Each structure stands twice: as C-alpha cells, then as structure tokens.
Amino acid sequence: MFADSANIYIRSGKGGDGHVSFRRELFVAAGGPNGGDGGKGGDVIFVVDKGLNTLSEFRYNRKYCAQDGAEGGKNNCSGKDGADLVIKVPEGTVIKEAESGKVIADMSHGNEREIILRGGRGGKGNQHYATATMQVPKYAQPGQDAKELNVTLELKVIADVGLVGFPNVGKSTFLSRVTNAKPKIANYHFTTLNPNLGVVDLDGADGFVIADIPGLIEGASEGVGLGHEFLKHIERTRVLIHLVDAASSEGRDPVEDIRTINAELASYNANLLEKPQVIAANKLDILYGEEEEEALKKVRDAFEPEGIRVFGISAVSGKGVKELLYYVSDLLKTTGESQMVFEREYFEDPSLDVTLPYTVSYDEEDKVYVVEGPRIEKMLGYTNIDSEKGFEFFQKFLKDNGILDELVSLGIEDGDTVRMYGLEFDYYK
C-alpha cells in the first residue's frame, strides 16, 4: 500500500562522560590529572533518497536512535564519538513535531540533508579542572543528555501539474495516454488510491511532471473519504488541470462538479485557487454532432468568462489532448519557478526551563566574551542558526533570557567577539 504519512520516535546520542584518572608512573611522586574527554553523541540526520517514493518503511520500524558517545579514558584519551544516524526519506517529505504539528524541516527543492537532532556534547575530563588550589580534581563533567522527539513524516508529491476531478472522470486514462505512467484503471469510484506521477514529453516545447491526484468527493476538505490524504499533494503543484466528465455519463452536471471541487480546494487551503487552472472537458467521444458542441459550450460559457481556458478532449481517442498539453507547457513558463516550501515552525525553547543555569563572562586572555552553561548547550543543540528562521530564534533567545543585557553590563561594544562553545560571532546592536 502507498504510504504517505508515518509517526516515528527519534533520539540523538548522549555525550560520553568525562573521565577521572591520574598519572601513575614509577618515580613520579604526584602525577597530575589525565582524564580524557567523552565523545560526542551521534546526530539524527534526514537525507533525501530520490530512489524512494513512499514512507512504507516507517510503518514497520518506528524507533530510531543514534549512537551514544564513549566515555573518556585515562592518559588524556578522548572517548570515541557516537555514529550519526542517517534516515533516508523520499523527496517532498515534510517532518513535523508530532504533538504540535509544527514543521521542523521540508525535504524538498534542494534541501537534501538536514540535522534534526544534534548529539550531546561530550563531558570534559578531570584534566580540565586542575587549578593552583585544586591540583587533584576528582570531578569530571558528565556528557550532555540525548535529545528526543516524536515526529510525523508527511510525503507531499512534487509535480509541476496536478490533475484533479471527481472519481471516474478519466484521470488515470488521461495520465496513461500523455505519460509513461501505468496506473491501474477500472470503472468504479476510487479506483486510484495512489498519487501517480508521470513525465510529459513534448516536441519543441518544455515537458513537465504531472500528478494524478486520486478522485476527490464533496466533503474532502473535512476529511470525508481520503480527502486530507489526497488534498495535501496538490499544495506542491504550480498549475491544475481540472478534468471533468463533460458528457455527464454518470448523470452529474459537469459545471456543478467543477464548482464543488473548487470549493473543496478553497476549504482546504484558499491559496490553491490562486494557482492557474485549465479545464479539460473529457469524454466528448461518446457524444455526437450537436450534443458534443452543446456540452462543450456549456462548460466554456460557465468558466471562460472567469479567465479559465476550457479544452474539449477525449482521453480515450486522444482528441484535443495535444493542444491542451502545449497550452499547459506555455502556462508553466508564466507561473515562474516559485515552489511551495514549508518553512520551519518548531523550535525547542530552552528558555522555558529557567532552572537550567548559564554564565556570561569576559576572557581576558582571548579577549572574547564567553556565554556558556546547560541552557545555552540545549538551545544550540536544537537550533540550526545557519537558517534564517533559526538565526531569528537565536537572537530572540539571547534577548528574552537577558543575555544581551548582561553582555552590555560587562562593557561589550560593537565588533567585540562573543563565544558560545564552538560558535563565535561579532556583536552589533
């Protein structure tokens, strides 16, 4: 069965604990501390595999854990870093935090690798804690805890053109005629349960990818039938071909069918009706003479005054199909290359846990301001500051937690350097 959503649990690796040990050699009366640092825990990384087209694997395996970092050793030996966990998903997969439904990452349109959870930082060995007054430190830093999330994976098909319409209006027949796709075709409702993709090749014009979205019904936007499962695939497309049974072979009014489907699109996402739309009045091959002309005129009179082009076609015989495809190819050129990308909405907010400490100080030797502590580590572990949204969250975190105020009180000026563990940046108001 086609799988386009799944719920899974992911966990990054815990950082290895720092080690407590002391130098013990013959003729060395008081060897100093030589406990090594713990290894970093493995990251949880999602990557796009273009050979995949479903999320079926996640129906059977729902728990994914990266490797923990190893504990540090004696003689200043650092523990081994935990192995990263790489999870492969189809292009077009949207990763959401399960409880809130907020987007964590959209694996589409060039975003082929995303670190979702960072492994815990390894703890420092006792070698780092020797001072003039404490030459035998018996303390080492524990590794940073692992991070965990329950996430929902949703696959949203990526195609230039979406083929929509009521069940049994000939969408699968149309797709099989114009592309190399081979959908299963039968004469009953909901015969198509999978979004089928095909590539349209045109002589002397640009081809495009078309998706046959399974037949919609009234109430689909409210989840009737498999409405939500199907409607989400339309969000990625740039142009819609609305296929309708212009011959009314099942007794339905083609104009009313189009109005009904458009109302469902608007109810699900009002932006869908802003996409350019073309109507393919299908099944004209079963009408003759004036009947065919009247059926086509009825649809044109209803929608061409609204700026929607109507083509009379027969998916069975191929009549009118070529003209429709070349028109859609030209239409795609005018819609630009803008693609729907779901921006990150979910950020773990460490500022909610006010019990976690942090410190702000000035390092005289390196001439930098240093911000560190568990709350800072937690924030950096969940935040990708290389992204625009992530950097905005990072700035808000510094302001809301009073860190910027503390830096100012220490005398920071524009251009001074601030260090947060492995991250350094210049301060500007």
Q: Can you read off the two tokens belonging to residue 305?
A: 């005054």
Q: What is the pLDDT of residue 251?
A: 82
Q: Can you read off the two tokens belonging to residue 366?
A: 């390196």
State the Cα–Cα distance between residues 266 and 260, nearest whole angstrom: 10
CB contact at 8 A, 315 and 284: no
- Burial of 35 (C-beta count, 10 Å sphere; 0-12/13-18/19+): buried
Close Cβ partners of 182 (under 8 Å, ≥ 6 residues apart): 176
pLDDT of 115 above 80: yes
State the Cα–Cα distance between residues 264 and 272, nearest whole angstrom: 10
148-159 pLDDT, tens per residue?
A: 999 999 887 677
**Three-class SS state of 54:** coil
Average pLDDT, the chain: 82
CB contact at 8 A, 69 and 60: no
Please give the average per-residue pLDDT across 174-194, as a whole number.
56
Q: What is the pLDDT of residue 186?
A: 39
Region for 410 from its dihedrals, namely left if φ exceeds 0, alpha if ψ lies in -120 to 50, beta otherwise: alpha
The β-bridge relationship of strands 368-372 and 63-65 is: unpaired
State the Cα–Cα distance between residues 273 and 275, nearest whole angstrom: 5
Q: With the C-alpha atoms ordered 109, 111, 112, 114, is the resulting torsion angle positive or negative?
A: negative
Q: Which residues of 263-295 are buried (b: 16+ CB within 10 A; e: fewer)?
A: ebbeebeeebeebbbbbbbbbbbebeeeebeeb
DSSP label at 394?
A: H
Please give the average per-residue pLDDT across 179-206, as a whole number.
61
Q: What is the pLDDT of residue 183?
A: 45
Question: Helices 227-234 & 254-268, crossing angle to 10 degrees?
Answer: 80
CB contact at 8 A, 1 and 54: no
Q: What is the pLDDT of residue 303?
A: 94
pLDDT of 49 above 90: yes
Q: How confident is the model at residue 366 (pLDDT cuts 50, 70, 90)?
A: confident
301-315, 338-352, 389-403: segment of lowest average pLDDT: 338-352
Residue in the block written with tokens 């195609």:
159
Of 353, 365, 361, give the one whose Cα is nearest residue 400: 353
- Alpha-helical segments (H) within 254-359: 254-268, 290-303, 321-334
Higher-confidence residue: 41 or 134? 41
Q: How confident is the model at residue 335 (pLDDT cuts 50, 70, 90)?
A: confident
pLDDT of 218 above 60: no
Q: What is the pLDDT of residue 104?
A: 92
Q: Can you read off the two tokens belonging to residue 357?
A: 């400490």
> CA of 279: how far to CAs of 262, 313, 318, in Å?
12, 10, 16
Q: What is the pLDDT of residue 223?
A: 47
